[in-house]
Amino acid sequence: MTLNEQLKTIIIEELNLEDVTVEEIEDDAPLFGEGLELDSLDAVELVVQVQKHFGVEIKDIEEGRMAFESINALRHFIEERMTP
Amino acid sequence: MQQTDKQETDKKQHQWTGRNLGTRFGHNIFYALIHLGGKRLGYFALHWVVLYYVLCRPSVRRRSYPYLHHRFPKQRLLTRYVTCYRMFLEMGRVLVDRAILGIMGADKMKFTIHGRQELLELVEKNHGFILLMSHVGCWQVAVSALNFLKVPVNLLLEQEEDNIDRHYVNYADATSLIQIIDPGSYLGGTLLMLDVLKKGEVVCMMGDRVFGSEKSCLLVDFLGENVPFPFSAFKIASATGAPIVVFFSYKTGYDSYTLKVAKIIHVPRNLGRSGESFRPYVTQFVDELELYTREYPYQFFNFYNMWQ
């Protein structure tokens, strides 16, 4: 499973997205504002899940803005911080 | 979804917001009266303004009815006019007080703080905490009295031009540690809240008003019927480990207020996404709020039908 697929699975399972499959989530689509219809409290949950699964902390609003742009952006954000 | 949050917020604003409490012009007249004649003149003018609203503005008077009906279910029409007058008068006094606070400073008020030591101990732990307040008493007075904590207090407050809650902040002392988080900002300001809590700061929000989507609410019994209460604060507390401090203010005299830590709620970590997980904790807050309305029935200032 690629990191993108892993992220999509986490989003679907941990945020309880009904009627959404991994294939339906586009890599470049925005996570918030349109498409997945995630709201501000989902952002809180996503911050927690990213830390829980990858040990990566989204420290402030600027990092959040960057990481939550899309699945690709989130993957990039995590990879950058996981690299030793 | 931010757009959805905004639409829901807009819908709510049609029901009631700070801007429904008279026009900016009306508030400015009171500010001018206070400048000219001090608090006594402000209070004197208030009696007549309140009387006018109770007798001549039924649409305004009716805004108090949903609450009064639930708090005093057996009340007759004439008594309802009297309780409505008392409630509007208390509201007006609080508005004058907060204008005094802005214009003349916090030293014009006397505060008694119950739970001061508990608050200082929480600050000492440096994990931050969420001050969960309500539209009761005068939350501006409560916030202004928190300088002794010596950490920034981040107030979740809408930044619209005509929101009168903003007037106080505009007038507030420049040395104040109050900072504003706009719920209309990126992701409702939630990431900023997580950020400041991590720094050991205080986040202050209202537990009785829905910001954003109603998805973030739970129906909880309040004065005999279900009302939607937001669980956002509890979700953030669960994500960060920050405790929730239920903090109320009471006007207890001409120039005195009592501020009270009503309860400290520790929400377990990582409770998940479902609102139901937060029900026991939201209920604790609502129980405290109900207790408040039993003790100070005329200082509860939500002038819309919460039970709708």
Instruction: Specify the CATH number for the domain of residue B201.
Output: 3.40.1130
Domain annotation covers residue B125: yes
Instruction: Map out the domains of chain A with their CATH numbers.
Output: 3-82 (1.10.1200.10)
Measure the N-to-C terminal CA separation of chain A; round to a whole number of Å: 22
Domain annotation covers residue B97: yes
Contact A40 B274 (CB under 8 A): no
User: In terms of residue numbers, what domain contains B245?
Assistant: 2-299
Side-chain half-sphere exposure of B215, counting CA atoms within 13 A:
17
CA distance B156 to B137: 18
Question: Which of B188, B270, B272 is nearest residue A40 as measured by Cβ atoms?
Answer: B188
Contact A61 B2 (CB under 8 A): no
Amino acid at B245: V
Residues B90, B98 contacting (CB under 8 angstroms): no
Domain annotation covers residue B305: no
A40–chain B nearest CA distance, Å: 5
DSSP states along chain B: -HHHHHHHHHHHHHH--GGGSS-HHHHHHHHHHHHHHHHHHHHHHHHHHHHHHHHH-HHHHHTTHHHHHHHSTT--HHHHHHHHHHHHHHHHHHHHHHHHHHHH-GGGSEEEEETHHHHHHHHHHTS-EEEEE-SBS-HHHHHHGGGGG-S-EEEE----TT-THHHHHHHS-TT--EEEE-TTSGGGGHHHHHHHHHTT-EEEEESSS--S-GGGEEEEEETTEEEEEE-HHHHHHHHH---EEEEEEEE-SSSEEEEEEEEEE-PPS---S-GGGGHHHHHHHHHHHHHHHHH-GGGB---S-TT-
pLDDT at A45 over 80: yes
CA distance B269 to A48: 10
Domain annotation covers residue B99: yes
Tell me which residue of B54, B14, B173, B56 sits closest to B106, measured CA to CA: B173
Q: What is the pLDDT of residue B172?
A: 52
CA of B184: which chain A residue's CA is closest? Answer: A40
Q: Which residue is listed with tokens 């008279």?
A: B22
Domain annotation covers residue B306: no
* DSSP 8-state code for residue A20: -
CA distance B263 to B59: 36
Number of structural domains in chain B = 1
How far from A83 is each of A67, B57, B75, CA to CA, in Å?
Answer: 16, 66, 69
Contact A39 B215 (CB under 8 A): yes
Structure tokens at B134: 């309500």
Torsions phi, psi of A69, nearest 5?
-65, -45
Q: State the 10-residue block means of pLDDT for chain B, 308 residues long.
A: 44 46 69 80 88 90 93 91 94 86 75 95 95 91 88 85 54 68 86 91 91 80 96 92 96 92 94 87 98 96 89
What residues in chain A have their Cβ under 8 A from chain B's Cβ atoms? 14-16, 32-34, 37-45, 47-48, 52, 58-61, 64-65, 68
CA of B237: which chain A residue's CA is closest? Answer: A44
User: What residues contact residue B119 under an 8 Å CB cut-off, 6+ apart?
Assistant: B113, B146, B149, B245, B261
Check if the interface score ipTM surpasses 0.90.
no
CA distance B143 to B199: 19
* DSSP 8-state code for residue A69: T
Q: For B4-65, give the secondary structure using H, E and C.
A: HHHHHHHHHHHHCCHHHCCCHHHHHHHHHHHHHHHHHHHHHHHHHHHHHHHHHCHHHHHCCH
How far from A47 is each of A77, B155, B190, B237, CA to CA, in Å?
Answer: 12, 22, 10, 13
Beta bridge partners of B110: B256
CA of A34: which chain B residue's CA is closest? Answer: B1
Domain annotation covers residue B85: yes
CA distance B145 to B119: 12
A68–chain B nearest CA distance, Å: 10
Q: How many CB pairs under 8 A join A and B?
A: 75
Structure tokens at B277: 């997980």
Residues A84, A45 contacting (CB under 8 angstroms): no
Q: How many C-beta atoms lie closer than 10 Å to residue B144's C-beta? A: 25
Of the residues A14, A31, A39, A49, the best mutation for testing chain B's interface (the one with the most B CB atoms within 10 Å of its CB) is: A39
